[in-house]
Amino acid sequence: MIWKSEWTPAVAILTVFITCLHLPVGMPRFDHAVIESLRLVQWYAREHVLLCLVPAFFIAGAIGVFVSQAAVMKYLGAGANKILAYSVASVSGTILAVCSCTVLPLFAGIYRMGAGFGPAIAFLYSGPAINALAIILTARVLGLELGLARAVGAVLFSIVIGAAMHFLFRNDKCEKVRAASVPVEAAVPRPLWQTALYFASMVAILVFANWSKPDASEGLWHLLYTQKWLLTAVSAVILGFALVRWLGVQWWKVVLVAIAVLSSVAVIPERPLVPFTVGAIGLILLTSFGKGDPETWFAATWGFAKQILPLLLIGVLVAGFLLGQPGEEGLIPSSWVAGLVGGNSLWANLFASVVGAFMYFATLTEVPILQGLIGSGMGQGPALALLLAGPALSLPSMLVLHSIMGLKKTAAYTVLVVAMATISGMFYGAIA
């Protein structure tokens, strides 16, 4: 009988149809939530995909192609020194101004290269959570105590969550296979300093292009902000040199891309995103139509983009529909959220952790959001809980993590982040 094999898709189609029939179109809150979800996706595509994800995809692709698998196993592999592996992974986020979504291709890169499950998870959490800029901004805006609590809590979190995930899945067959596949040390095609400079140029592009404006109008942070595009351009020049000198890209092709970038600056000097986009398209063309290492690099980069980007955009759309964006409400009223996170009860801390885990925070946006919530009566404990759960996790990142490491591991990671954030919030709220 045909229904034995087709009842599941039939029920799914019927459910979607009935839902479409009863959509509350015309209700102000529903219509506004739809508009906010589209606005958030539009902003994400304009500001975050180009400036954050494109560089992150290329870095992740480069990890898979140009970083020796033996080197990854040596420092982060299952057989590596545990103190060294977790120490490196737990502080990795201090130089990366990334959010929970931007860190995903980087995590996928080192994870697939053979990094131990525990250190890889520590890196996954620490990447967005131990952002030095965010911690400094937290201390300046929300108070030194909360800033220090966030810094200490994030470092400890990454180690504890990484170790806990390793323990929970120590008997997992997939992890045993990965741990057993230690590669034989191969000849290094280029000196370490060349590879380091090559990666440093890409990380510098990612960091400086996303450098946010500080509150102070003077000092080092403000100086770096005023020169962010110059520093990004210098980093791009170093990358171009590496492409020609070490990756075999013809010099005149790199020069043509540079001329196109400079021309866009001359035509539209007030919109730096335009030359950045031209440079990104140029890099795509240089690598996709290249041969040897550049072609392999682009193939790896494109593989990460295909897997991660569609799920991220779907997740951002859903998050925007439910929770809106900073300053605007989604389907769930912000007054409900503010009213449920007052005091320092278990429920307040748990609720703050869950909301933080599912809501999408772009880099540094969690600070002004929390400033508004604290002004509305949010307790210090729930504030820390949201700071520890929010930047490191989001609904979009959960969808992508499911495709990378499966449902069980994604669910365990989410529960650990929420539980640790809740406990930390209650402890901090009791002593604050």
Structure-model confidence comparison of residues 141 and 264, the more confident one = 264
Structure-model confidence comparison of residues 32 and 362, the more confident one = 32
Kindly tell me if the per-residue pLDDT of 139 is higher than 50. yes
Kindly tell me if the per-residue pLDDT of 156 is higher than 80. yes
- At 188, give phi and psi (nearest 5°): -85, 125
Structure-model confidence comparison of residues 341 and 166, the more confident one = 166
In a domain, 278, yes or no: no
Kindly tell me if the per-residue pLDDT of 365 is higher than 60. yes
Provide the residue range defining the domain that includes 41: 35-190+290-431
Structure-model confidence comparison of residues 325 and 175, the more confident one = 325
Residue 318 near residue 395, CB atoms below 8 Å: yes
Q: How far is CA 80 from the centre of its chain?
A: 25
Kindly tell me if the per-residue pLDDT of 176 is higher than 60. no
CA dist list (Å): 218 to 136, 215, 221, 222: 15, 9, 8, 5
At 351, list the tokens: 């609720």
Instruction: Kindly state the average pLDDT of the residues 59-85.
Output: 72
Neighbours of 428 (CB within 10 A): 25
User: Which pLDDT band holds residue 136 (cuts at 50, 70, 90)?
Assistant: low
What does the pLDDT read at residue 184?
44
pLDDT > 90: percent of the chain:
18
Count the alpha carbons within 13 Å of 277 in the hemisphere toward its beta carbon.
Answer: 12
What does the pLDDT read at residue 396?
83
In a domain, 356, yes or no: yes
Q: In b/e form, how buried is each residue of 145-176, taking b as 16+ CB within 10 angstroms?
A: ebbebbbebbbebbbbbbbbbbebbeebeebe
What does the pLDDT read at residue 338?
67
In a domain, 71, yes or no: yes
Residue 316 near residue 360, CB atoms below 8 Å: yes
β-bridge partners, 342: 378
Instruction: Kindly state the average pLDDT of the residues 92-115.
Output: 71
In a domain, 146, yes or no: yes
Residue type, 154: A
Residue 363 near residue 210, CB atoms below 8 Å: yes
What does the pLDDT read at residue 84?
80
HEC profile of the chain? CCHHHHHHHHHHHHHHHHHHHCCCCCCHHHHHHHHHHHHHHHHHHHHHHHHHHHHHHHHHHHHHHHCCHHHHHHHHCCCCCHHHHHHHHHCHHHHCCCCCCCHHHHHHHHHHCCCCHHHHHHHHHHHHHCCHHHHHHHHHHHCHHHHHHHHHHHHHHHHHHHHHHHHHCCCCHHHHHHHHCCCCCCCCCCCHHHHHHHHHHHHHHHHHHCCCCCCCCCCHHHHHHHCHHHHHHHHHHHHHHHHHHCCCCCHHHHHHHHHHHHHHHHHCCCCCHHHHHHHHHHHHHHHHCCCCHHHHHHHHHHHHHHHHHHHHHHHHHHHHHHHCCCCCCCCCCHHHHHHHCECCCHHHHHHHHHHHHHCCCCCCCHHHHHHHHHHCCECHHHHHHHHHHCCCCCHHHHHHHHHHHCHHHHHHHHHHHHHHHHHHHHHHHHHC
pLDDT > 70: percent of the chain:
81
The mean pLDDT of the chain is 80
What does the pLDDT read at residue 64?
66
Instruction: Kindly state the average pLDDT of the residues 393-417.
Output: 89
What does the pLDDT read at residue 319?
72
Structure-model confidence comparison of residues 416 and 224, the more confident one = 416
User: Which pLDDT band holds residue 78 (cuts at 50, 70, 90)?
Assistant: low
In a domain, 228, yes or no: no
Structure-model confidence comparison of residues 123 and 415, the more confident one = 415
Structure-model confidence comparison of residues 53 and 352, the more confident one = 352
Domain count, the chain: 1
Structure-model confidence comparison of residues 1 and 394, the more confident one = 394
User: Which pLDDT band holds residue 157 (cuts at 50, 70, 90)?
Assistant: confident
What does the pLDDT read at residue 234?
95
290/253 Cα distance (integer angstroms): 10
In a domain, 22, yes or no: no
Q: Which residue in this structure is represented by tokens 């209650």?
A: 426
In a domain, 68, yes or no: yes
249/414 Cα distance (integer angstroms): 43
In a domain, 219, yes or no: no
Structure-model confidence comparison of residues 378 and 93, the more confident one = 378
Kindly tell me if the per-residue pLDDT of 72 is higher than 50. yes
User: Which pLDDT band holds residue 310 (cuts at 50, 70, 90)?
Assistant: confident
What does the pLDDT read at residue 399?
87
